């Protein structure tokens, strides 16, 4: 799953954390998820949570700035994990 992206500051895009391989290894599914978006970016709406993936729509950002968005999940079996997606803002 790629976790580094270049985003235009005017773009409104979805970013997805795909947990399918890890969840298959532990025979589990996502129960809840929280996405933390740093100052400078805007989370548009709540994250969409599926059995094996979480998607967050994001806008904003300052050209040449770098941001880390963090997704933390709790599985149906009670496991907790988190992963990051890194955005660099650039004119596209």
The whole-number pLDDT of residue 62 equals: 97
Task: Look at residue 4 and tell me whether its pLDDT is greater than 90.
Answer: yes
The whole-number pLDDT of residue 2 equals: 75
Q: Per residue in 19-76, pLDDT tens? A: 999 999 999 999 999 999 999 999 999 999 999 999 999 999 999 999 999 999 999 9
26-30, Cβ contacts within 8 angstroms, sequence gap of 24 or more: 26/75, 26/77, 26/79, 28/75, 28/76, 28/77, 28/79, 29/75, 29/76, 30/54, 30/73, 30/74, 30/75, 30/76
Task: Look at residue 1 and tell me whether its pLDDT is greater than 90.
Answer: no
Task: Place domain 4-89 in its CATH homologous superfamily.
Answer: Immunoglobulins (2.60.40.10)
The whole-number pLDDT of residue 17 equals: 98
Domain ranges for the chain = 4-89
């Amino acid at each position: 799953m790629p976790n580094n992206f270049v985003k235009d500051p005017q773009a409104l895009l979805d970013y997805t954390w795909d947990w399918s391989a890890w969840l298959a290894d532990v025979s589990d599914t996502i129960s809840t998820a929280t996405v933390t978006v740093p100052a400078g970016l805007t989370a548009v709406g709540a994250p969409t949570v599926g059995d094996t993936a979480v998607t967050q729509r994001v806008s904003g950002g300052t050209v040449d700035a770098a941001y880390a968005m963090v997704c933390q999940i709790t599985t149906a079996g009670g496991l907790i994990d988190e992963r990051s997606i890194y955005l660099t803002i650039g004119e596209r």
